[in-house]
Amino acid sequence: MKPGVTMIRIMSVGILGIGLAACQTINTAPAPSPAPSQAPIAPASISDPGSIAFRINPSGNGAYYGWQMQIVKAARNKGFKPFTTEQLSAGQMKEYTLWPDSYLVRVSRLGELESESWVDVFPGEVTVVYADYGLFSEDVKISREPDPARIDPEINTGIWRIPITTTYGPEVMFAHDGYRAEYTGPQNNGNPVGTGTVEITRNGQPFAEIVNADITGETITGDTEYADGRIVDGDYLSDSHQIEPGSTTKWPDGTIFTGTYRVFDPLDGELRMADGNVWQGPVRERRPAGQGRLTWWEGGWMELPEGSAFPSQTGEFVCGGETVPAGECYYYGGKKLSGPDELAALMERDRQIAAKAAAETTEPQAAAQNGCRNASGTFRDNTGNSTLELDTPGEGNGNFVTYTYGGAQKYRFEIGFTYVTTPDSISVTYGNGTYSDAATGQVLQRMSAQSGTVPCRFDGNLLVMDGTEYRR
């Protein structure tokens, strides 16, 4: 056995394979020094990946086909994607690039488990899982040996080496308040090392990317590019999930904020708006919120009990300035007024408008609720030839007039009636009607109409009786 090799052997006992015996041999003798003719090998960095290679005995004797390796999980690293190799035969090999850690490895042949153990991967080194078999025994050896690619740069390892992007996906660093951050980069036994990339989304949309991200303690540093073009002078704290307090954020429109944050969103501090006005207090969505002070770009200040009312603040406020003593000032819709009387007049006007609008809204609503019980007044059909009059809501006296034509002659029919309504019907009792010449008023015929009850509905404007529409 070579120096520096750890072997785990699973061997059948006897030709018939009556039992299994396992032994582990560890040789700690140092590996031989490189021959003088070899090129010097650069020392591995803690951020370098290693790999696990799965090789099958090339002799072709014994169990030379149907071998598979499964890597079930990593002991500490996050983002590892478990996998199982395809079935390999004599002389075949696969090598999987992995971040340094311990991995649970299972080796099977034709579905039968041959070996299961934790296998260590070290930076810049290849750990080999070697299926060695003969006519009467099958061994699975696990060893560390120099990477063939480091020994002979001419070897084309691409045909059997699987990249790290296949064995590892992004590690979720945090996900809350609609934000999600994922780290892709070197790991070593559960800790980010070196530099990687952090991609951040907000509500599923790209928000920021940190390249050359260095995660040290709770701080993420690196070159950050935000999707909306903002620039942040400060680091992100991964443990507390927020931009470092006191950091300054600048947006392309000229807005600047300095203060505390909730994740990446301004929370409380100084907000210099694009128009030059300055807000000191709570901030939401890059706007004043809560109680604070507004300083005008041209000078002077005002206290706002609710900053979200800006810039349409209405009412009496405390104001002042360097040359003006603190006192009351009056605003309506963001416009400064001459005094309390002007504010009172505008507020009374608004009250009257609101009362009128409420009445106009209530009347149709009440009419729709009580239906035909509320119908009264004069109504005309869609042709303009028929007129219906109801003198009072609920019940009362009515009159119906309609005009018809016969060639060049125009005729008028009129009949009176009494009625009683429900929300969805009207009962009518007709009197005697007259049929006359519209031009001369000469009565041509006296007639009656059949009384009865018909469906009815009314919405405050439209009255529908027995399917005929009338509008007030």
> Quick check: pTM over 0.75?
no
Measure Cα distances from 175 to 77, 181, 241, 285, 313 in Å: 18, 6, 9, 20, 37
Torsion sign (Cα): 106, 111, 112, 114: negative
Strand boundaries in 373-424, DSSP class E: 377-381, 386-390, 395-406, 409-422
CA distance 165 to 197: 13
Residue 90's identity, in one-letter code, is A
Identify the segments of the chain with pLDDT beneath 50. 1-39, 147-152, 155
**pLDDT tens profile 103-160:** 999 999 888 898 899 999 999 999 999 887 765 556 787 766 654 444 445 545 556 7
The tokens for 412 are: 């008028």
CA distance 136 to 160: 29
Q: Which CATH number fits domain 6-29+45-167: 2.60.40.1120, 3.20.20.60, 3.30.450.20, 2.60.40.1250?
A: 2.60.40.1120
CA distance 220 to 21: 51
Buried b (16+ CB within 10 A) or exposed e, 413-429: bebebebebeeebbebe
Q: Is 56 in contact with 93 (CB distance < 8 Å)?
A: yes
CA distance 199 to 213: 10
Long-range contact list for 12-15, CB < 8 A, 24+ apart? 12/136, 12/137, 12/138, 15/136
CA distance 125 to 49: 8
Measure Cα distances from 119 to 72, 209, 307 in Å: 11, 34, 60
